[in-house]
Amino acid sequence: MCGRYSLTTAPEALRRLFNFDNLPNLAPRYNIAPTQDVPVIRQADSAHNKGGDGGGRALSMMRWGLVPSWSKEISRTAPMINARAETIAEKPSFRAAFESRRCLVPADGFYEWRLEDGKKQPFRIGMKGGAPFAFAGLWEHWESPEREKIESVAIVTTVANARLQPIHARMPVILDPHDFDQWLGAEAGSSRQALMRPYPVENMAFYRVGLRVNSVRHDDPDCIAPLKAQH
């Protein structure tokens, strides 16, 4: 699964990678947690037609924890922050979004925990050199009877690659930049299934971080500092 991640990359660098049209003022975030608003990249016109292709890409803010359009209310417990790649084409909660509302979720690291000496040790996982990357995401539009409107997102997960298996059995689907258009586009679903695979091990790195990241109240550079550098 993916239950916490970071995005500290400058907005201009993100725009160069993801090629979105707008340039919002994004502050660095070191400990992004479920139910918080997160930046998401989708086709520029999909906000208006609730799916489909656009002439460009746009960055929007969405609630992390997908709310199906048919839900009567927003669940206050266990938000759907992840969507399993193996079942999203059939599961009612994700099926429609997988068909027509796919997105990119920018990040530059994510956290997983492993039991060590009886305690859960957090790890920060990402690319070698700390470069930003994209999770495969699904988004939805929900509206309450009182006309409250919420756009929400879930991160797609798959089995972990061999490098990450000792930490956690699953990992988020990370898309290569060459595959962004294929994931966002309107082509047949069979071509997208091939993208939902473990990311190559040779490009990834991880390190232990301190327990500060365990609390969602903490969102500062100490959350991503290597454990040996903390006091």
Query: At CA 39, angle to CA 101 and CA 92, rounded to 5?
Result: 30
Q: Would you list the DSSP string of 77-108? A: SS-B-EEETTTTTT-HHHHHHHHH-EEEEEES
> What is the domain count for the chain?
1
CATH code of the domain containing 206: 3.90.1680.10
Beta 204-208 vs 174-175: how paired, if at all? Answer: unpaired
No. of helices (H) and no. of strands (E), the chain: 5, 13
Domain hosting residue 117, numbered range? 5-229
User: What is the pTM assigned to this prediction?
Assistant: 0.92
Q: Which residues are catalytic?
A: 2, 112
Q: What is the pLDDT along the chain (231 residues), one digit of tens a residue?
A: 799 999 999 999 999 999 998 878 899 999 999 999 999 999 887 655 454 444 589 999 999 999 998 888 777 667 899 999 999 999 999 999 999 999 999 999 999 999 999 999 999 999 999 999 999 999 999 988 778 899 999 999 999 999 999 999 999 999 999 999 999 986 655 678 899 999 999 999 999 999 999 999 999 999 999 997 444
